[in-house]
Amino acid sequence: MSYTSLKSLASKYTFQPATKLLAKDLNPHAINAKYAVRGPIPTKAEELRAKLAGESHSLPFNKIINANIGNPQQLDQKPLTFYRQVLAILQYPELIYNPALVQTIPKDLIERAKLLLGKIGSVGAYSHSQGIPYVREQVAKFIQKRDGYESDANEIFLTSGASTAVSYLVSILGLGQQTGFLIPIPQYPLYTATLTLNNSKALPYYLKEEEDWSIDSSSLRTIIENAIAEGTIPRCLVIINPGNPTGAILKPDAIANLLALAAEYGLVVIADEVYQENVFKGEFVSVKKILRELQEGDDQGRFSNVQLASLHSTSKGISGECGQRGGYMELVGFHDEVIQQLLKLASISLCPVVTGQALVELMINPPKKGQESYEQFKYESQAIFDSLEQRAASLYAAFNEMTGVSCQEPEGAMYCFPNLTIPQKAVDQAEKSGLEPDEFYCSELLDNTGICAVPGSGFGQVPGSWHVRTTFLAPGTEWIDQWKEFHEMFMKKYA
């Protein structure tokens, strides 16, 4: 049929057309899901960035400082050379046969790339939906070395970052509003968004800010018992350690108490441990290790049924390879029936991106001392770590110098979550603008300095308290000074 006849066909129809869909016609669970990290403030920042790029502008700053999202390489963090050289070879294996190039690349790196090529084949082929078996075996070895306890490659899933893992877990564990997920408040809003989307119930538990954002397990028990009394089945307990947005590291005994609750109430534990490499103070101990310790010390088998899913990612840590979408999930103590269901869900999405899977292997098996690539790797990763640590300290100091601001010392992760005393006049002004007070503060901060941070209301906070989340990724300290200056101006203006 030619196109002329198609056009003439159009006039032969006689039906009355229907209207277009509006938001009100869509799935209300999807509509109600919120994700502040890329919400209204970051969207406004993008608009301002476009203005800055225009021919002339009257803004009081010359660039946007993206402190809203843990996206290190957007903020000029250089990728680790070792990772990228291997990934380049995986994309184009013929590089290995270019003698001039090979001379410039460490031997152990070429060997690693050859090994991965042998195990993976083409990165353009779908892999096993659970992930490349060799990479899963390596992840199991890494976990075993980290914790001192065995890990099984059959219980490891490679994922596209940690978000996919959360989505699969909520999909199988949530049965509508009758199933509850205990989530920390403040939390990384992926959790509330995914729960809302899946029509599962969030059971928020507050972290104790004044005690380094620690967890009071007795208040958790009350929340669980109340939920049960109201007919909700508590199904899952989310632990984020090191904390996002809090930057806090949980103590082993606090985690042990959470595991006891999980064992008693049959809660699946989701341990979001994507910041395990970002530790500046104290020590990261995995939930898996604490579980195994408890199981060893427990002659009654009380901890033997605990089901734990631990998440890790190539996006954070020293790698900061967010755009490469690599990650893994270790399942501990799940019945095989449940693992098979997760595998089926993974198979519907076919497989995680294969280069991201390879990057997981590189992250967990960095070059070893004595290998040719070691020195440069060590130098680059130490520089990244040091600069994160320094900026964390600078920000912490700056916040505690600001009028009416208190901030817990960041122990890990990439964030500070300072507590703001917002003057009543500013609260009134926010109300007039239809904004939460902390949203108003972030909006003013953005308008005056170009700094984009996320209001605490996007993460949850004790009612009546106000916070802001900022990453400590942006280079330099000039922006921290600008923030201080803005803050005092804000406090004076609304005093």
d(Cα 217, Cα 184) in Å, to the nearest integer? 12
Does 49 participate in binding its own copies (rule CB under 8 A)? no
Does 53 participate in binding its own copies (rule CB under 8 A)? no
Size of the site for its own copies (CB under 8 A): 123
Does 256 participate in binding its own copies (rule CB under 8 A)? yes
Closest contact distance (angstroms) between CB of 315 and its own copies is 8
Does 112 participate in binding its own copies (rule CB under 8 A)? no
Closest contact distance (angstroms) between CB of 369 and its own copies is 24
Does 73 participate in binding its own copies (rule CB under 8 A)? yes
427 burial class (0-12, 13-18, 19+ CB within 10 angstroms)? middle
How far is the CA of 65 from the CAs of 75, 304, 459, 483, in angstroms?
Answer: 8, 48, 20, 11
Choose, by CB under 8 A, the member of 52, 96, 117, 172 that binds its own copies.
Answer: 172
Does 58 participate in binding its own copies (rule CB under 8 A)? no
Other CB atoms within 10 Å distance of the CB of residue 314: 27
Does 9 participate in binding its own copies (rule CB under 8 A)? yes
Closest contact distance (angstroms) between CB of 135 and its own copies is 13
Largest interatomic CA distance in the chain: 82
Residue 110 or 426: the one with the smaller Cβ distance to its own copies is 110
Residue 74 or 403: the one with the smaller Cβ distance to its own copies is 74
The residues in 362-401 that bind its own copies, with binding defined as CB under 8 A, are none
Residue 193 or 248: the one with the smaller Cβ distance to its own copies is 193
d(Cα 163, Cα 204) in Å, to the nearest integer? 19
* Segment interacting with its own copies, rule: CB under 8 A, options 51-59, 274-282, 346-354, 455-463: 346-354
Does 455 participate in binding its own copies (rule CB under 8 A)? no
How far is the CA of 435 from the CAs of 41, 187, 432, 438, in angstroms?
Answer: 11, 21, 8, 8
d(Cα 298, Cα 495) in Å, to the nearest integer? 57
The residues in 123-152 that bind its own copies, with binding defined as CB under 8 A, are 123-127, 129
Residue 266 or 404: the one with the smaller Cβ distance to its own copies is 266
Residue 342 or 420: the one with the smaller Cβ distance to its own copies is 342
Closest contact distance (angstroms) between CB of 175 and its own copies is 5
Does 229 participate in binding its own copies (rule CB under 8 A)? no
Does 204 participate in binding its own copies (rule CB under 8 A)? no
Tell me the one-letter amino acid at 166: V
Choose, by CB under 8 A, the member of 204, 252, 282, 366 that binds its own copies.
Answer: 252
Does 323 participate in binding its own copies (rule CB under 8 A)? yes
Q: Write b or e for each residue in 228-240: b if 16 or more Cβ atoms lie within 10 A of its Cβ, otherwise e.
A: eeeebebbbbbbb
Choose, by CB under 8 A, the member of 161, 180, 412, 456 that binds its own copies.
Answer: 161
